[in-house]
Amino acid sequence: MRNTGTLQVTLKNDCEVVLTRVFNAPRAMVFEAMTKPELLKRWMGPRGWSLIVSEIDLRVGGRWRSILRSPEGKEMRMSGVYREIDPPERIVSTEAYDDYTGETVNTLLLREENEKTTFTCTVLYPSKDVRDAVIASGMEHGAAECYDRLAEVLEARAGLSLESRA
């Protein structure tokens, strides 16, 4: 499939970001890798970070909790509650970071075709205020020199989208 391995990040509207990625595996396998702590620990985290704690109570109303650690020892804590679970196709869950008050609602969808799985995750921010707070905290974390990425944003095809070989 043409888009295998390409992560697409699209700004859908004021409060929603959509992530899309194709995986070269059946969706039952992708679902498993995304919902089992021992498997999640093997892949989740930005470069250099590791998932040191992963707890998942995969049922409606059940909680999940993750702690990521950076190479410098900085920790990022996230947690949430499962709202809908329909294996191996769909999960709706909330997500909050310990260092800010806002909570997002994430809708994960897995579609399978020819033993390849299209992953779509819609991240919904509750309000523009929360979204702005998240953006502001991202800016504080240093990477303000994003002018060189400007061209990438502008070259987006449908909507404000970014693509990367990742």
Partner 1 sequence: MDLMFAALADPTRRAILVRLASGEASVKELAKPFAMSQPAVSKHLKVLERAGLITRGQDAQRRPRRIQGKGLGAATEWLQQFREFWGGSFQRLDDLLEEMKATERKKERRKGRRKES
Q: Which of 1, 32, 54, 95 binds partner 1 (CB under 8 A)?
A: 32
The least CB distance from residue 79 to partner 1, in Å, is 16
Q: DSSP 3-state assignment of 144?
A: coil
The least CB distance from residue 34 to partner 1, in Å, is 8
Nearest to partner 1 of 60, 115 (CB atom)? 115
Q: DSSP 3-state assignment of 159?
A: coil
| Cα–Cα dist 1/113, whole Å | 10
42: left (phi over 0), alpha (psi -120 to 50) or beta: alpha
Task: Give the closest residue to 105 by CA, choosing from 138, 80, 130, 132.
Answer: 80
The least CB distance from residue 11 to partner 1, in Å, is 6
Q: Which of 45, 62, 88, 102 binds partner 1 (CB under 8 A)?
A: 45
The least CB distance from residue 61 to partner 1, in Å, is 26
Interface map 111-130 toward partner 1 (x if CB under 8 A): ------------x----x--
**Helix (H) or strand (E) segment spanning residue 105:** strand 103-113
Task: Give the closest residue to 123 by CA, choosing from 109, 110, 136, 113.
Answer: 109
Task: Give the closest residue to 77 by CA, choosing from 107, 55, 47, 106.
Answer: 55
Can you give the binding site for partner 1, defined by CB under 8 A?
5, 7, 9, 11, 13-14, 17, 19, 21, 23-25, 29-30, 32-33, 39, 42-47, 123, 128, 131-132, 134-135, 138-139, 143-144, 146-147, 149-156, 159-162, 164, 166
